[in-house]
Amino acid sequence: MVIWLLIIGKICFPNYRKCYSKATRKSFIVLFFFACAILSGFRCLHVGVDTINYKHQFDLVAASSWSDIFSSFYFNSMEIGYVLFMKLCSTIFNNYIIFQVIESVIFLCLFGRFIIDSTNHVFLACCVFLGIGIFLDFMNVTRQVFAVAVVINGLCDLRKKHAIRAFIVLIIAVTIQISSAVFLISYILYFLRNKNLIMKLLPLCSIFVLVFSELFVNIVIAFFPKYENYLMRNSINQSAHFIILVWLIIVFMALLTIYGRKKANPFSNVIALFCIFYVICNCLGFKYNYFERVGLYFVPFVLLLLPEFVARIKNKRLKDAINFCMVFGFTMLFLISSTGSKQYQNYHLLGGDDL
């Protein structure tokens, strides 16, 4: 379904160089994310590594009293904000599939707003949204990716000079998934965006941290021994296959954005820096547990970096060629990712047993 929408989108946006109206871009976003909402909202309970577990959590929250829920910040290992979201939906509908649909719609609306507010090239951004794995991650690590969708909109508010609203959004995201607190780094770096020296030093510092990661992790464990289980060397033999090539391309474009321009765009530098953070977190994920989860908070900025990089290319033929390669590459990456896993091979919309 989404692949057909991408084909339709290419018909709607045949010329990358043309600046389409905001109404046209919004219309495509609505259609594209409507299809995504159907696929994620009405998926059967066997699609997504934690979907069945979330169904059990939803039933438990629905059966619990409000006083039990408010007794602690955590309820059955879930943060209070997400639990309240479940409880509110269960009070009105008391059906997990309806909750799943509502959650999917909110998630995709938040990402749609982020894309519309941040880039004019929504078609390529949607291709990257699929190919880089955000959509599939939402169906697997739902609560965290939902928190990502919430917190990135805080940065949109910050750009519009709504600082109080931005910090309220950050607090809401933390109540959904505590790891959202890491996004405070993004707020700080946004305020430092005009400090050119800092922006140029941070990529080098990030690479330094990657090279000497074991030293830094040992220091963290020495001061916070309770996190040793989270940071210990990953026992799972992970492989990224050709996604590593995508990471190298992202880092190359990010470095060119930061170091290859005489007149730097401050926010473009911030976007590029966040993309480097995303790649480094995934590289650390090969050695230590859960670092790739931290990278989820920075992956949305890849949706902005790549279209912005293509838009800066002056040669029209080269621009069109690179744009085509990106659209084709990320679409194929999504198809490979979605068909390479057994749970997606057996994908179907919910059946009677799921209701």
Cβ-based neighbours of 67, under 8 Å, separated by 6 or more: none
Q: pTM here?
A: 0.88
Please tell me whether residue 176 adopts helix, strand or coil conformation. helix
284 contacts 278 by C-beta, under 8 angstroms? no
Residue 292 scores a pLDDT above 90: no
Mean pLDDT of the chain: 85
User: Which residues, at least 6 apart from 59, have a Cβ–Cβ distance to it below 8 Å?
Assistant: 96
Reduced to 3 states (helix: H, G, I; strand: E, B; else coil), residue 349 is strand
Helix (H) or strand (E) holding 353: none
pLDDT value at position 343?
63
Q: Is 240's pLDDT higher than 70?
A: no
Q: Quickly state the pLDDT bin for 237 (edges 50, 70, 90).
A: very low
CB-CB contact of 245 with 282 (8 Å): no
**Short-list 284, 273, 280, 291, CA closest to 186:** 273
Give the gyration radius of the chain's Cα atoms: 21
Q: What is the arithmetic mean of pLDDT over 27-39?
A: 89
Is pLDDT above 80 for 73? yes
How far is the CA of 298 from the CAs of 74, 133, 186, in angstroms?
A: 25, 13, 9
Determine the 3-state secondary structure of 236 from DSSP. Answer: coil
Residue 175 confidence (pLDDT) above 90: yes
5 three-state secondary structure: helix
* Residues 6 or more apart whose Cβ sits within 8 Å of residue 161: none
The CA distance from 193 to 188, in Å, is 9
| Cα dihedral 126, 131, 134, 140 sign | positive
15 half-sphere exposure, CB direction, 13 A CA radius: 6
Looking at residue 344, its pLDDT comes to: 61
Tell me the per-residue pLDDT of 183-202, one tens digit each, with 9 for 90 and over: 999 999 999 999 988 999 99
Checking if the pLDDT of 316 tops 90, the result is: no
Band the pLDDT of 285: cuts 50, 70, 90. confident
Q: What pLDDT does 3 receive?
A: 54
DSSP string across 13-61 = S--TTS---HHHHHHHHHHHHHHHHHHHHTB-TTSSTTHHHHHHHHHHH
Q: How high is the pLDDT of residue 352?
A: 44
In angstroms, the CA 267 to CA 278 distance is 17
